[in-house]
Structure 1
């Protein structure tokens, strides 16, 4: 039996929710689970275990070819009144059932039991956010999206953009109102390429932590890489957007004495 230790690259650096900004993912692996090191153990002649692996899964689900990660640090438990129409249900729970070679399919979820119903979240398109098990799951990858506006249903819904610490994720300061508006205006038309394309350019770079707070009080993290001029959400920025981010970052850090 070979024992694998799965690394959480998770909703964190890869989805923009709770990362350090320095995580690196081995090429060819899926961000929801990554086998890191193999530690050989004596091979038993017989074993009842279906998978000789110990895996830590990111809390994700997949429906309609869209992969979602739980937004654990920018949302709260969802009330019944916030649920929209049913959009699917879980048909397979990976935790303690799937092995490292499992290919993610529609209906898969890391920790939600089979039969868990998945709902739209009122106020947002289901391509951006859904609700399952009382938790909000936010898009990580949508192969049908052509732009960031099609990926993130946030147009007209943003309250502010903020700068966070790359060390502990704490708030450093907010963009000015004008800069927040300009950030969203520049971000949404960007072509959506997906994480893999960005990873090719930014895998060895330390990112700038940004948080986008929406008008309903929820938020999500975005990580921006200046040298690659790219976001882990799956887009490459314009020069105007790069200048805006770096200028606001410098001003906020100076005001905070950093």
Structure 2
């Protein structure tokens, strides 16, 4: 997705941020999720009208009806040995070409030039991670994912789960080995309902930043909302999963003197 400043299609992102601000200063380990918006070019007859929107693109791509975001803070540049089969190719670059009326379609990418090859990543299902321009792109939305396990190809790959600061994203502490294992076992069977369904249930509150660390040294962030018992990845948690997260959070914060 993309975040279009001052454009109506992304007001839901701003509303989340403003609601959190209204609740007062956020604790470390608590924060609101970030999202993105939309953008494209308008054509009248044979003359393209300049896009007047101020657009901040998020580095994304879309193939096979799956949308991926560049995992910029939890991965490293991919080596040639990690490249799998070709799974797609960029056919349209949105940056400097698209405006707010653009409808995302297969072959779209925010910053990747036309012709950029998209590869599967060895060791992962392409529905979860792909590679383009030596960067890892991770699933943001997959309409065919029935469960979180379908969305996230991480079963048997997790090293640990940790808590992060909502102020600067710095690590606060790790879940215990047993709690990390149970977290994944509770998470993966959850029904994947998508972000829109979760957003309707989220009340104005700060989310809790969690990071899932994989055995290959990569990681990704998840945001959990306690009142809604929901993840922005598009799932509602079980009571046991909520209890596990909140208990580990308190233990980690106490150990950190917070």
**TM bucket, shorter chain:** 0.7 to 0.9
Report the equivalent of 1:142. 142
> Does the 8 Å contact 1:158/1:214 carry over to 2?
yes
Residues 179-227 of structure 1, C-alpha deviation per residue, up to 9 Å, x if partnerless? 0000000000000001111111115221011000000000000000000
How far off its partner does 1:24 sit? 7.3
Q: Distance in 1 between matches of 2:138 and 2:34?
A: 22
Q: Distance in 1 between matches of 2:81 and 2:6?
A: 40
Q: Distance in 2 between matches of 1:193 and 1:166?
A: 25
User: Out of 11, 16, 22, which is 2:32 matched to?
Assistant: 22
Change (3 A) 1:32 1:85: farther
SS in 1 for 2:57: coil
Report the equivalent of 2:232. 232
> Does the 8 Å contact 2:203/2:228 carry over to 1?
no
SS in 2 for 1:136: strand
Q: Distance in 1 between matches of 2:177 and 2:222?
A: 18
How far off its partner does 1:22 sit? 2.5
Report the equivalent of 2:179. 179
User: Any runs of at least 4 consecutive aligned residues in structure 1 with deviations exceeding 4 A, and if so which?
Assistant: 3-9
How far off its partner does 1:253 sit? 0.2
5+ residue gaps in structure 2? 18-28, 40-46
> Does the 8 Å contact 2:38/2:101 carry over to 1?
no
SS in 1 for 2:55: coil
Report the equivalent of 1:222. 222
After TM superposition, the structure 1 = structure 2 runs for residues 85-164 of structure 1, keeping only pairs within 5 Å, are 85-164=85-164
How far off its partner does 1:49 sit? 4.4
Compute the TM-score of the two structures, normalised by the length of structure 2: 0.84
Q: Distance in 1 between matches of 2:243 and 2:48?
A: 58
5+ residue gaps in structure 1? 14-18, 26-30, 35-46
> Does the 8 Å contact 1:84/1:121 carry over to 2?
yes
Q: Distance in 1 between matches of 2:135 and 2:245?
A: 31
How far off its partner does 1:166 sit? 1.0
Compute the TM-score of the two structures, normalised by the length of structure 1: 0.84
Change (3 A) 1:254 1:72: same
CA RMSD of aligned residues (A): 2.2
